[in-house]
Amino acid sequence: MAMAMARVVSMRVLISSETHRASSSPRSLQSKTSPSASRKGSLNPSHKTLKLNLEVSPHRAVSAVRLMRIEFGGAFADLLNEKGKGSGDNEMGYVERSIGFRTRDLDDRDLRLVTDIVGGTIRWRRYLDHLISSLCHAENTFRGMEPLLLQILRIGCYEIVKLDMPPYAVVDENVRLAKAALRPGAGNMVNAILRKLVLLKENNSLPLPKLEGDDRAQARALATLYSHPVWMVRRWAKYLGKEEAIRLMKWNNSDPIFSLRANSAKGISRADLVTKLNSLKVPHEPSPHLNDFVRIKTGLQIVIQSGLLKEGFCSVQDDSAGLIVSLVDPQPGEIIIDCCAAPGGKTLYMASRLHGQGMVSAVDINKGRLRILKETAMLHHVDNVITIIHADLRIFTENNTLKCDKVLLDAPCSGLGVLSKRADLRWNRKLEDMEQLKNLQDELLDAASLLVKPGGILVYSTCSIDPEENEERVAAFLLRHPEFCIDPANRYVPPHFVTEDGFYSSNPVKHSLDGAFAARLVRAS
Ligand SMILES: C[S@@+](CC[C@H](N)C(=O)[O-])C[C@H]1O[C@@H](n2cnc3c(N)ncnc32)[C@H](O)[C@@H]1O
């Protein structure tokens, strides 16, 4: 904890002392703007006065700074990635102020490299830190390492060990970055550690922990080998067994597969989307589960840069989320309420399935996320069937007698089913969160149930694979609410997604989709 705090403080110092560094460092020619102007980022012309360094590879400099923003600045890896090229200027402002010099602008290839390196380095953080600390002379060296130096070392290790890039070029490039962004001594340290790593890798003798000892020791070793928090490994070993837990961690560490949904509300068919993807040369395959969906393994950045998302031509939506909408089975003319709706992935898909007749009320406690929902609804031409309600669901249901045909509660959850896409989530999620989330899920379920008309449907869903957030919450709810019973999922989703109890469940390892869960419950008439 103290170590983390020390790193946060030094990160803050690094960012806020940029003006000082710019004027005191001989490497970074003087910035002439005020500190407040320089904090504004892209629109600040000062960065053009910084020295342009053509020796440092820009994607590594950007990756190192982006990693610090994610680890210490609260930025989310997936959001930074999705902004892609459009945010280039803004990001370059951060980079320059953090390292004290300019790099050349990123081209499309650099942007893809940044996405890959940042995602991979975050996922493999625990594993990489184990290697780096094992290769430091003293334990204190690793503990007291300044944040930027640590990020550069992590990038170098990741490139050598996981990307199998030409090792001596990787060493040289990262040494150059450390020297330019920090000081010559930092470059020497990067050189020493990465060269040792290259030799150990060549001799097939990386210093990795052995899978031995009691359950705790084995969980710690697995947590390092597959780079996850120990508490997650122990939980999965308990619920899934060791072998399945390993398969799940391998999936979480693999490159994410994305699905795109053609926006039928705008008259766009899957065939239209396929034509566009062909013209962009993005490899794709039709979803075997959903008519409007297409799956892509690579090329998301190309899709983003092409503007297809901004135009509302299609959305990024995993099949696992689309199948939850299939379980709700929205029909034209129905009155539906989406209780935790923002940013609106499922609201928009449900609305498009109403074909202009009926209504989806979208409730959420988060105003900012609701704003995104509202804007996207207009973009997608479904705003005529969406009503937005900013409220805490628990208070909303106290003051409302609204009764709906269908109620979707896509509850706040741990997100343990989406760790392959949310690279940083595994490090942000804590065991203590699970208890709090379960209480909130129970309260929201009770509140949502009040909105279901007699004979109506309540769908409870999560993007978690954790039984305590899924089956256990439903079982506890049914005990409190005997007026509800399970409506088996097999009439709405393909049979291999249906559990013995009649729930919908997508399993990353089995289905190659995000992990998700949903129960369809019917209220007695
Ligand atoms: C899993 S996300 C919903 C994702 C959304 N259904 C979609 O498909 O895009 C959970 C949402 O619950 C909202 N939320 C959390 N607590 C809430 C509460 N007490 N009342 C209403 N919404 C709440 C959060 O703001 C968050 O947007």
CATH superfamily of 2-202: NusB-like (1.10.940.10)
DSSP state letters, 207-253: ----S-SSHHHHHHHHHHHTT--HHHHHHHHHHH-HHHHHHHHHHHH
What 3-state DSSP class applies to 178?
helix
What 3-state DSSP class applies to 172?
helix
220 CA distance to ligand 1 centroid (A)?
33
Distances (CA, A) of 291 to 279, 494, 522: 21, 13, 26
pLDDT for res 147? 93
| Residue whose entry in the numeric block shows the structure tokens 């279901």 | 452
Q: How far apart are CA 416 and CA 434, in angstroms?
A: 11
Give nearest CA residue, ligand 1 atom 19.
392
Q: Is the CB of 334 within 6 Å of ligand 1? A: no
pLDDT for res 76? 55
Which ipTM was obtained for this model? 0.99
Q: Is the CB of 342 within 6 Å of ligand 1? A: yes
What fold characterizes domain 258-316?
Alpha-Beta Plaits (3.30.70)
pLDDT for res 99? 85
Instruction: Name the residue of 79, 325, 340 whose CB sits within 8 Å of the most ligand 1 atoms, as the mutation to test its pocket.
Output: 340
Which of 336, 370, 373, 341 has the alpha carbon at shortest distance from 353? 336
Q: Is the CB of 266 within 6 Å of ligand 1? A: no
Q: Tell me the sheet residues that pair with 309.
A: none
State the 10-residue block means of pLDDT for the chain, 525 residues long: 38 31 28 31 47 86 92 63 48 81 85 92 97 92 94 98 96 96 96 98 96 95 98 97 97 96 97 98 97 95 93 98 98 98 98 97 98 97 98 96 97 98 95 97 98 98 98 98 98 98 97 98 97
The CATH number of 321-523, from 3.40.50.150, 3.40.50.2300, 3.90.79.10, 2.60.40.10, is: 3.40.50.150
pLDDT for res 96? 84
Alpha-helical runs (H) found in 307-344: 319-328
- The alpha carbon of residue 395 and the mean position of all alpha carbons in its chain are separated, in whole angstroms, by 30
pLDDT for res 48? 55
Q: Is the CB of 344 within 6 Å of ligand 1? A: yes
104 CA distance to ligand 1 centroid (A)?
40
Q: Is 312 left (phi over 0), alpha (psi -120 to 50) or beta?
A: left
pLDDT for res 1? 37
Give nearest CA residue, ligand 1 atom 16.
365
Q: Could you give the angle at which helices 58-72 and 88-99 cross, rounded to 10 degrees? A: 90
The domain spans of the chain are: 2-202, 215-253, 258-316, 321-523
Residues 6+ apart with CB under 8 A from 495: none
345 CA distance to ligand 1 centroid (A)?
11
Give nearest CA residue, ligand 1 atom 13.
340
CB 267 within 8 A of CB 77: no
Task: Label each residue of 300-339 as H, E or C.
Answer: HHHHHHHCCCCCCCEEECCHHHHHHHHHHCCCCCCEEEEC
Letter for the amino acid at 114? Answer: V
Q: Which atom of ligand 1 is nearest to the CA of 392?
A: 20
In terms of residues, how long is the chain?
Answer: 525
| Residue whose entry in the numeric block shows the structure tokens 């609201």 | 347
Q: How far apart are CA 207 and CA 141, in angstroms?
A: 17
Please list the active-site residues. Answer: 463
Q: Is the CB of 415 within 6 Å of ligand 1? A: no
The pTM of the full predicted model, rounded to 2 decimals, is 0.88
Q: How far apart are CA 525 and CA 523, in angstroms?
A: 6
Q: Is the CB of 91 within 6 Å of ligand 1? A: no
- Residue ranges for the known binding site are 340-346, 364, 392, 410
